[in-house]
């Protein structure tokens, strides 16, 4: 559970680092890059421990798949509330396909 929690926090930082500047298109590129790098530093402070502690309980492949699902969930909330971008039907369908992939990845995992 701690791995999942740390990955959620990590992804929140990374989503803001990668996409937060989109709300400020007049911000000079050098400042957008600098601020993004500073935010990303926070992401690494949670990502590295999440993977270190989670490896063994989960395989490396499973950690990556968990990471991608969390990324989509965090990004969806971010896009809806921060960027005012509601999801379209094809985005929801795509997300369901990713969840199906997760089911395959964890099939037989005890």
User: Rounded to whole angstroms, how far apart are CA atoms 89 and 98?
Assistant: 14
CA distance 64 to 72: 12
pLDDT at 24 over 80: yes
- Please, which pLDDT band fits residue 103 given cuts at 50, 70 and 90? confident
pLDDT over 70 at 97, yes or no: yes
Rounded Cα–Cα distance for residues 97 and 4 (Å): 21
Residue with tokens 């499973």: 62
Model pLDDT, residue 108 = 75
* 9 — pLDDT class (breaks 50, 70, 90): very high
Question: Residue 110: pLDDT above 60?
Answer: no
Instruction: Provide the token pair at 25.
Output: 């298109």
Domain boundaries, the chain: 2-105
Query: In terms of pTM, does the model score above 0.95?
Result: no
């Amino acid at each position: 559970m701690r791995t999942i929690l740390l990955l959620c926090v990590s992804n929140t930082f990374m989503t803001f680092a990668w996409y937060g500047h989109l709300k400020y298109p007049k911000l000079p590129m050098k400042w957008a890059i600098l601020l993004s790098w500073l935010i990303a530093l926070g992401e690494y402070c949670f990502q590295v421990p999440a993977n270190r502690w989670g490896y063994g309980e989960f395989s490396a492949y499973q950690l990556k798949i968990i990471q991608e699902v969390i990324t989509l969930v965090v990004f969806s909330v971010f896009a809806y509330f921060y960027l005012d971008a509601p999801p379209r039907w094809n985005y929801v369908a795509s997300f369901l396909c990713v969840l199906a992939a997760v089911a395959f990845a964890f099939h037989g995992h005890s």
